[in-house]
Structure 1
Amino acid sequence: MRAFFVALLGLFTAISATNAQEAGPKVVTDIAPVGALVAMVLGDEEGVSVLLPENASVHSFSLRPSQARNLQRADAVIWIGPSLSPWLERSIENLAPDAISVPLISVPNTLKLIIREDIGFIEHEHHGDHDEDHEDAAHDEGLHNEDAEEDHEGEGHEEDDDHDNMINAATADPHAWLEPNNAVVWLDEIAHVLGEIRPEFREIYAANAQVAAGKIMITAAGISEKLADVREIPFLLAHDGTQYFEHAFGVAAQAAIRDVNDATPSVRRLHDLGQQLEDAPVSCVMLDNESGYKEITLPSGEMPDRFGTLRSMGQGQTFGPDLYIAMLNDVADTFVTCLKP
């Protein structure tokens, strides 16, 4: 079935967005993975501007004059939301009041996970049927796209909907792009918004979104297989920024040094973390560009056996339509390398 779907993707990829780009929308995004999703729908990266530089912290960034000018010219601003990029909310109001603002964390049917307040994540939820879920999702995206909106509202989301009703955009963990199913939901919304700006290209955008969704779900199925042998191996996070990837693929974070907002840990937090790791030691520590850590000494005074550097913003990837999938694969490979015994 996968071979059939890959062939189907090849057929749809023949759809050209060249004419669309000649008069395409000007879209500003906060982070590169979101920009890549927009580029997938447009057909290429032309017309897409990403505000956050590769190694900057999304939690504390401020606009440069050239970026402010890009924002002023935007037809749409597609971003995660103020919980991830608080610096962008006021800038949109002041510099781009006429642009369509799309905070993706608030898009209907987006899975939102509540911010983890505890030091340790003992009650991590494991998902035993990731391979089957992602294989089924890939099949559904390829063969039943005409019912995509209905599928997003119904199939496989009943429990998520009940959970989601208890969480709003302000209380949700904002790192939601690391859940591939959210990316698929957002592709539909991006195609809709771009189609409102350029109605003459609406069908092209919708077709591109269909192809992109299928590619992402095939990638997710492959990642599930790749991570099968390391799912139960606990690890320590420098920054609590992978909850959605954990939810999607079942890897098991034990604890995080810095919280979801990347705040400097308090003495109390470090003390509690030491107790957590004494009860459940880890051999792998996942760093990221945001945390600023080059290396970490565990509260016990010991060094972990292995480090991995997560590039969940697409660092090191060439910006364009392929960046989102490349980022997912890179994050998965980092987990495998660090966790594999």
Structure 2
Amino acid sequence: MSRFFALFVAFITSTLLMAPAQAEVKVLTSIKPLQLIAAAVQDGVGAPEVLLPPGASPHHYALRPSDVRKVAQVDLLYWIGPDMEGFLARVLKGRSKPTVAVQALSGLQLRHFGEDSHSHEEEHGEDEHDHDHRPGSLDAHLWLSSLNARVI
């Protein structure tokens, strides 16, 4: 199933990128790291936008009406997935254009919290690190691995 999904995404992406030059593909990413990866892929073809403003946390963001309009208008949207960006899940259910949940791509090396040998509580104060790292939950910071960045 995931192989089919990856092929489907590759087909849609290539179709959109091969559109006539006057019809630039509007790509939106949920967070800045995905935008940087998309910009490298789209180099010379278009400039992807990022949904979250600088400094906003994808763990606790609340969509504004202008964000919902932007999500509806773009041709292709990349987001990490519901483990990191739960605020997008409901809006994306009604979206008819291609949407890629990066955490669902095949070939990623996923890490779950609790797999490392240290405690995050020792490393970070409560004010510094306010998102959930329950043992067994997915570490949705997928772009931090160079191998995952290539897959994305």
2:149 to 174, 183, 200: 183
2-side partners of 1:173 and 1:115: how far apart? 6
Percent of aligned pairs with the same amino acid: 31
CA contact (8 A) 1:112 1:172 kept: yes
- Cα 1:172–1:20 change in 2 (3 A) is farther
> Partner amino acid for 2:139?
D
- Cα 1:21–1:105 change in 2 (3 A) is farther
What is the deviation of 1:70? 1.1
What is the deviation of 1:47? 4.7
Task: Find out whether 1:102 has 2:100 as its counterpart.
Answer: yes
Give the superposed CA RMSD. 2.8
Partner SS for 2:49:
strand
> Partner amino acid for 2:143?
W
- Cα 1:117–1:108 change in 2 (3 A) is closer
1:4-47: CA deviations, max 9, x gaps?
Answer: xxxxxxxxxxxxx9x96532221121101101211111115845
- Cα 1:82–1:73 change in 2 (3 A) is same
Match for residue 172 of structure 1?
Answer: 138
CA contact (8 A) 1:30 1:52 kept: yes
2-side partners of 1:88 and 1:46: how far apart? 24
Task: Find out whether 1:52 has 2:52 as its counterpart.
Answer: yes
Task: Find out whether 1:24 has 2:51 as its counterpart.
Answer: no
More helix by share: 1
- Aligned positions, number: 120
Match for residue 305 of structure 1?
Answer: none
> Partner amino acid for 1:173?
D
CA contact (8 A) 1:49 1:70 kept: no
2-side partners of 1:44 and 1:175: how far apart? 27
Task: Find out whether 1:41 has 2:7 as its counterpart.
Answer: no
Partner SS for 1:28:
strand
Deviation beyond 2 Å, 4+ runs, structure 1 = 19-22, 44-47, 116-121
Gaps of 5+ in 2: 1-16, 120-135
Normalized against structure 1, the TM-score is what? 0.32
Match for residue 114 of structure 2?
Answer: 116
Normalized against structure 2, the TM-score is what? 0.68
Gaps of 5+ in 1: 1-16, 122-169, 187-341
What is the deviation of 1:180? 0.8
